[in-house]
Amino acid sequence: METMIPAGADALRVLMTRQSHWPLSEPAPDDAQLRQIFDTALRAPDHGGLRPWRFVLIRGDARLKLGEVLVDLASSRSPGEPHSAHEHRRSRALAAPVVIAVVASVTTRTKVPEVEQLLAVGAAAMNMLNAVHAMGFGGFWATGADSYEPGMHRALGLADNDRLLGFLFVGTPPQGVRAVERPSSEAYVTEWFEASA
């Protein structure tokens, strides 16, 4: 595992070198490190100070239960197929030693639009992924059909106003993973009313 990257000038290096890793293995962040990771989430921009983020920590044998839920959901989406056809989905929950459900607890009792509440939770999740990387671990943000299933929401004990924005998988990345080539940012940036010389 990499050593912790110090603050200061190296903070930019954390942001510039972060990439997704899958699958992930032990060791995982310990309780103190997880607390720090969750604390970084609370530093995300948050219009109105609503604190709309909620997180469900899934680790240890709880991942086996998550695997059962994934198999059941896949089976319910394909009623013509045997239940056994979806057994491979069980291993998805075991692809990392720590899984964190990212939840937006959306309120309508505010002038802050829902989209801005969702963006705040997305920013919180990104802070967490950056913290994971800064600690020398790896992370992966998984979304997809399972995140939108009422059955998954019930399994996680979510409220009617909650939106599941996916799962963060956290652990130790494989050795020798090549850095992902990133395109130049110039292709994605335009200047409005370009300043004259």
The reply to whether 105 falls in a domain is yes
The reply to whether 5 falls in a domain is no
The reply to whether 108 falls in a domain is yes
**Which CATH number goes with the domain that contains 116?**
3.40.109.10
184 is in an annotated binding site: no
Range of the domain at 138: 21-60+91-175
The reply to whether 15 falls in a domain is no
User: Do residues 97 and 170 lie in contact, with contact meaning Cβ atoms separated by under 8 Å?
Assistant: yes
Q: What is the pLDDT of residue 6?
A: 58
3-state secondary structure of 88: helix
107 is in an annotated binding site: no
Beta bridge partners of 101: 56, 167
Q: What is the mean pLDDT of each run of 10 residues along the chain (197 residues)?
A: 60 87 96 98 96 98 97 89 82 97 96 97 98 97 94 97 98 90 92 76
Write out the H or E segment, with its range, that includes residue 100.
strand 98-105
The reply to whether 101 falls in a domain is yes
91 is in an annotated binding site: no
33 is in an annotated binding site: no
The reply to whether 111 falls in a domain is yes
pLDDT tens digits along 68-85:
999 999 988 888 887 777
Tokens matching residue 143: 């979304």
Please choose, from the candidates 34, 77, 27, the residue with its C-alpha nearest in 3D space to the C-alpha of residue 58.
Answer: 34
The overall pTM is greater than 0.75: yes
* Total domains present in the chain: 1
Please choose, from the candidates 190, 196, 172, the residue with its C-alpha nearest in 3D space to the C-alpha of residue 21.
Answer: 172
Q: What is the pLDDT of residue 25?
A: 97
Indicate the residue type of 107. T
142 is in an annotated binding site: yes
Cβ contacts of residue 32 below 8 Å, gap of 6+? Answer: none
